[in-house]
Amino acid sequence: MFDPFGVPAKDFINAIYRRVLGREPDEQGKLLQKGLSVRFDEETISSVLESLLESEEFNNGRMRSLILKMVGRENCIGSRVTYSLGERCFTSWLLKNTGNKNRSGPFDWIFSSPDMALDLIDNQFKNFLDPAYHLTTPLEQRDAPNINKSSNLYYEQHFGIKNVYNHHDILTPDNLNYFRRGVDRFLYDLKNEASTRLIMVHTGKSIDDNYISKLIEALCRISNKFSILMVSISSSQMYDRNFSMISSSPKHVHVHFRATSSLGPLNFQDPVDDIVFTRGILGYLRSLGDNN
């Protein structure tokens, strides 16, 4: 059939869903793919775009993004080097979406866990970059063509983390070099910057003082010029959203955030949770390491 854009209907729907809604197509999107495979003309394409742009999901998401950027400008954390320590894309996205991301590092767009992060730092990313552990995920095993791209067998076997390099095929030389540069930059800044800020956000089992001590010890074997913000997240509709202090030392601050909604890949379900969380985290980051 005639294809006005030179791309299959499926690829077109995938692209506009990612651009407009920031996610992969759901069941409704798959129905649109089938419809466009029958009729793929300007009128139908305009109708699809119009429905997405007028959707509640798009308009709520757009307003949420604008508000978070405003919160970021009001709570700028300054120019000190700041890196994510995981445990997923949310941490880097928070810094980027508020205009406070000033470095790209190895934890930015990967899946990890606190234990995996400790292992990465403890062996200075040796297993992370070792091609012997790299494996491309077959297309039929991915949730979508552009995610779950590749794994690290070491971290899958030892920590149960699948598809570590979620958005990258690590077996592609350009992608491997991308992560090498991120690792080199991270280690260089730890050793050479006056004080590097690190932030880890996690939703799994509680991080205890023993874990934090091990992480600080591992980092100190590289450099002692850092400070860490650890953020534990839980959700409950029975209580008000709030922050509470768990522990602190000259090298770290550990806080708990209780949300009223669950945390998705990049946002909380409730936009108010996003706003309160973002404002609080940027405040903690701004003051982190003041006594270093």
What are the tens digits of pLDDT across the range 27-47?
777 776 666 665 556 666 667
Specify the pLDDT at position 18. 72
- Residue 177, judged by CB atoms within 10 A of its CB (0-12, 13-18, 19+), counts as exposed
pTM of the complete model: 0.74
Which tokens in the block code for residue 176? 């491997």
| Region for residue 198 given its phi and psi (left: phi exceeds 0; alpha: psi -120 to 50; beta: otherwise) | beta
Specify the pLDDT at position 60. 62
The answer to whether residues 9 and 36 touch, using CB atoms and an 8 Å cutoff, is yes
Mean pLDDT along residues 262-277: 84
User: 């006056």: which residue's tokens?
Assistant: 194
Most confident of 87-96, 199-208, 253-262, 275-284: 253-262
Q: What is the mean pLDDT of the chain?
A: 84
Beta pairing partners, 257: 233, 243
Could you give the CA distance from residue 119 to residue 85 in angstroms, rounded to a whole number?
A: 12
Specify the pLDDT at position 1. 39
Could you give the CA distance from residue 32 to residue 16 in angstroms, rounded to a whole number?
A: 11
Specify the pLDDT at position 65. 61
All structural domains of the chain with their residue ranges? 9-54, 65-137+169-287
Degrees (nearest 5) of the Cα angle 148, 150, 154?
120
More confident residue, 102 or 137: 137
More confident residue, 292 or 114: 114
pLDDT in tens, 117-162: 999 999 999 999 999 999 999 999 998 888 999 999 999 999 999 9
pLDDT confidence bin for 170, thresholds 50/70/90: very high
pLDDT in tens, 41-95: 666 666 776 676 667 666 566 555 655 555 555 556 666 899 999 998 889 988 8
pLDDT confidence bin for 3, thresholds 50/70/90: very low
Mean pLDDT along residues 259-267: 87
